[in-house]
Amino acid sequence: EQAVLETVLPAPAEESNSTDSAKAPKVNCEERNITGIDRFTLHILNVSQDLMEFLNPNSSDCTLVLFYTPWCRFSASLAPHFNSLPRAFPTLRFLALDASQHSSLSTRFGTVAVPNILLFQGVKPMARFNHTDRTLETLKDFIFNQTGIEAKSDVAVTEEDWEGPLPSVLTKGIDWLLLFSLLFLASFVMYATVRTESIRWLIPGQEHEHQE
């Protein structure tokens, strides 16, 4: 089933006419109990894991999910900033998945380009991060504006965040979606050219004009 994100996005116009409503959270997230948790880190789904297994349909807790590919330079530059988010928001959950390995999920949630960041409440996508400047600060602002949850002030991007768990170094790979698109386009152009040539010979007068 195709997920419809637009119906749950916050209303436009930034609600500038009302100071109180602008400060109210747009997504009322249930903060998880962090008692006994010493290390807050990002979880990356492998090819056999399904995103729905990590989202609780019976809860109103929130999860920030990143769709990325290891050979996308924008994903690589975002990686250290996204790796630091679990420490900034320990009461929220953070997941990442390789969009090329989870094509069905990418289609379901409208991932046409990576990196793509969605805020889920339970299993429902609530908002999409659309800022072109993908840094820790813009991500913290996005989460605060949507949920009203403030980030820990002492969190910054560290050398460990550059090392993982999300890779910040590009890996060699083939963008199969782009390759398929180029092959489809080339095939269509060839078909259209042959088809046009065939139709031209069926038009009266075209054959004589060609002979002259």
pTM of the model: 0.69
pLDDT digits (tens, 9 = 90+) for 34-82: 888 888 899 999 988 888 889 988 889 999 999 999 889 999 999 999 9
Q: Is residue 156 part of a domain?
A: yes
Mean confidence (pLDDT) of the chain: 81
pLDDT of residue 170: 83
Q: Please count the residues of the chain.
A: 212
pLDDT of residue 10: 44
Q: Report the pLDDT averaged over residues 114-132.
A: 92
- Name the more confident of 129 and 209: 129
- Name the more confident of 154 and 204: 154
pLDDT of residue 62: 94
pLDDT of residue 192 exceeding 70, the answer is: yes
Query: How many domains is the chain partitioned into structurally?
Result: 1
pLDDT of residue 149: 93
Q: Is residue 82 part of a domain?
A: yes
Q: Report the pLDDT averaged over residues 1-20.
A: 44
Determine whether 74 is exposed, middle or buried from the number of CB atoms within 10 Å of its CB (0-12, 13-18, 19+): middle
- H or E element: which one contains 141? helix 136-147
Domain that holds residue 126: 43-163
% of the chain beyond a pLDDT of 70:
77
Q: Is residue 32 part of a domain?
A: no
% of the chain beyond a pLDDT of 90:
41
pLDDT of residue 196: 77
Q: Is residue 178 part of a domain?
A: no
Q: Is residue 63 part of a domain?
A: yes
Write out the E strands in the chain. Answer: 43-45, 62-68, 93-98, 116-121, 124-129
- Name the more confident of 174 and 117: 117
- Which among 117, 80, 82 has a CA at the least distance from the CA of 99? 117
Per-residue pLDDT band for 20 (boundaries 50, 70, 90) equals: very low
Q: Is residue 187 part of a domain?
A: no
Q: Order the strands of the 116-121 sheet from edge to edge.
A: 43-45, 93-98, 62-68, 116-121, 124-129
pLDDT of residue 144: 95
Helices 136-147 and 73-88 meet at what angle, rounded to 10?
A: 60
pLDDT of residue 181 exceeding 80, the answer is: no
Q: Is residue 196 part of a domain?
A: no
Q: Is residue 83 part of a domain?
A: yes
pLDDT of residue 178: 64
CATH at 118: 3.40.30.10
pLDDT digits (tens, 9 = 90+) for 91-122: 999 999 998 888 777 777 777 788 999 999 99
